[in-house]
A and B are shown apart, each in its own frame.
Chain A
Amino acid sequence: MKLEGRVWIFKNDDINTDLIYPGKYTYEPLSPKEQASHAMEDYDPDFSQEIKKHDIIVTGNNFGCGSSREQAVTCLKHAGIEAIIASSFARLFYRNAINSAFAIVECPRLVESLFEKIEKTGSTRTDFLISIDLSKGRIFSESREFSFPSWDEQAVQIFKSGGLVEFTKQILRGMPS
């Protein structure tokens, strides 16, 4: 599976779930479009207007730390983000992403190489293009190539099923009734 897109750089570590999707919307039943309109609201208020479909986010350590709120994943997915590449992800964000069949990649070397190109911290929309080969564990960026470790086998199965809802349906079909 190949993913391609233009890069947003979030040059920070520990970008938390409140910055990605504010707590005040968490207990409102919002539509995917409404969720997308609040994506990254408290980090970069212009993000949701400027984003283009297939954009890829590149960010630092511990992305998505904090709350278990799944909208932190789904708001970015509904906004059209193709994938997130981070130095590392917080555990709950990682699981929520796999369960929503949303591509996340841990590749600190690529993050480092792109962070070097941007002076300021915070959010920057760039013209860099990235392509990710998920099955081969390869990233191509600015004529360089990087590799990343594959997910756990179970995560791969859930992702390939199209997310945990579909995966659970498969398990239910196989269970004695």
Chain B
Amino acid sequence: MAQTLIEKILAKAAGRTRVQKGEIVFVSPHRILSHDNSAAISKIFKQIGAPAVWDPKRIIIALDHAVPPPDERKALNHKIIREFVQEHNIEHFYDCGTGICHQVLPENGHVIPGTIIFGADSHTTTHGAFGAAGIPIGRTETASVWAIGKTWLKVPETIKIILTGHLKKGVYAKDVILFLIGQIGASGANYKSVEFSGDTVSRMSISERMTLCNLSAEMGAKAGMVAFDETARDWLDKRVQEDYEPLSADDNAEYEKTFEYNLEELGPQVACPHKVDNVRSIIDLPHTNIDVALLGTCTNGRLDDLKIAAKIMEGKSVAPSVRFLVYPASRSVLQDALRLGYIEKLVAAGAQLAVPSCGPCLGAYGGILAPEENCISTANRNFKGRMGCKQDTGIYLASPSTVAHSALAGHITDGARR
């Protein structure tokens, strides 16, 4: 019987030729990632009492959440992780400042198509951009995989999303995925795998595909993937040292649902407080003043995102009422953006440039909102209190272009005159 992409990946990871929907399989990941939560995971790993980690080459740790640590407790948390890394010879450890785990892994060639990437972070779905199944798991489960190298998964149903048409000027992958989340809903892909396809997706860069797959987590997806193609090959061949075997869905594979959208008329989208599926076209939004504009995160902190914003902001100034925060997704992104002059333009316009990290996205520290403040953000969640303060705050999610235009104007806008 014909199989979907996730079925093929799970079968391969389980050492089988095929799997059935609904079946439980034990699978081994190609890589397993974790971040600042690695200290807590190491504590559980000690409770389990395994003599050694399963494979020090496949366990990857990148410190990205509380970076650099703002207080003693968080600094100690990092210290515990460094000691664990030493003790267990974890080969690939990326200390503070390298970048966000979902950016650092592919940049360093750790993600290959046709495999499973487990991650102790809900946005592990990002790795679907490379035709891999990025599957998020919790801390205890990560500790268990560190010990025994495998865990169980139920073979999920797959939703196919076909996207067609050229996007209008000023409309980006972020607008596309916000639109889809609005259509499909916050639980629309719960427990399911999502395959993105169609000519719109084929034209997208790796960075844009990462945005798409990253946010499939906000539909509840177990994995969100784009099939491997020449675009992925070009990107990976510059970074990956090992051989890989891409997999693709069979033409007549069975999907639970298929959604098809022509995106030629789509305009810029905004996810309004306090749910990611509360999505509106920007033209339907009432006048909304903002206090903070955030450009960055694993969703939209890459070179093309900074480029879009820099182009919009060149020679202009951020509105006096706005704090404009820029968090590149990695050191490599920051270096490229410096070399290409994007950072110069953003800082000249009034940006507060920060160390590559998750930053204020989850309110751990830095860029926290005050009561009654609004933020326009390129991040991935707008839950109440997400950016550290719940008292009458509002987080609006949008593309880097909309964030840049809004930072200049002081209110939410895509820059178009209407």
Contact = CB atoms under 8 A, between A and B. Distances in A.
Interface string A152-174: 11100000000111011101100
Contact of B383 (A18, A88, A164): A18
Nearest to A61: B187
Interface stretch (B131-139, B318-326, B402-410): B131-139
A67 B277 CA distance: 16
Contacts of A70: 138-140
Interface in B362-397: 362-365, 381, 383-386, 388, 390
Interface string B41-75: 00010011111000000000000011000000110
Specify which of B49, B139, B154 lies most central, judged by the most chain A CB atoms within 10 Å of its CB.
B139
Interface in A80-120: 88, 90-92, 95-96, 99-100
B135 to A, nearest CB: 10
A23 B211 CA distance: 22
A169 to B, nearest CB: 6
Contacts of A92: 122, 136-138
B140 A163 contact: yes
Contact of B148 (A19, A23, A61, A172): A172
Interface string A55-94: 0000001100111111001000000000000001011100
A165 B140 CA distance: 7
Given A18-B384, A88-B190, A172-B147, A99 B220 contact: no
A80 to B, nearest CB: 20
A37 interface: no
A165 B49 CA distance: 9
A2 B186 CA distance: 32
Interface residues of B, number: 52
Interface string B164-198: 00000000000000000000001100110000000
A100 B143 CA distance: 13
B138 A62 contact: no
B363 A14 contact: no
B385 A22 contact: yes
A29 B39 CA distance: 9
A18 B381 contact: yes
A67 B74 contact: no
Interface string B264-293: 000000000001010000000000000000
B138 A99 contact: yes
Contacts of B340: none
Interface in B110-146: 119-122, 136-141, 143-144
Nearest to A67: B122
B138 A27 contact: no
B253 interface: no
B77 A18 contact: no
A62 B220 contact: yes
Contacts of B152: 154
Nearest to B217: A66
A78 to B, nearest CB: 14
B360 to A, nearest CB: 10
B190 A91 contact: yes
A42 interface: yes
Contacts of B365: 24
B383 to A, nearest CB: 4
B37 interface: yes
Contacts of A96: 138, 140-141
A123 interface: no
A29 B37 CA distance: 10
B364 A27 contact: yes
Contact of A27 (B77, B137, B143, B385): B77
12 contacts: A16-B383, A24-B364, A26-B37, A62-B186, A90-B190, A91-B222, A92-B138, A96-B138, A96-B140, A99-B141, A154-B24, A177-B51
Given A19-B384, A62-B186, 14 more contacts: A14-B186, A24-B364, A28-B73, A29-B73, A65-B187, A66-B122, A67-B122, A91-B191, A91-B220, A96-B141, A99-B140, A165-B48, A168-B148, A172-B49
Interface of B: 24, 36-37, 39-40, 44, 47-51, 65-66, 73-74, 76-77, 119-122, 136-141, 143-144, 147-148, 152, 154, 186-187, 190-191, 220, 222, 275, 277, 362-365, 381, 383-386, 388, 390
Of all A-B residue pairs in the complex, the 5 with the closest CB atoms, nearest first, are A62-B187, A23-B362, A96-B138, A18-B383, A42-B385
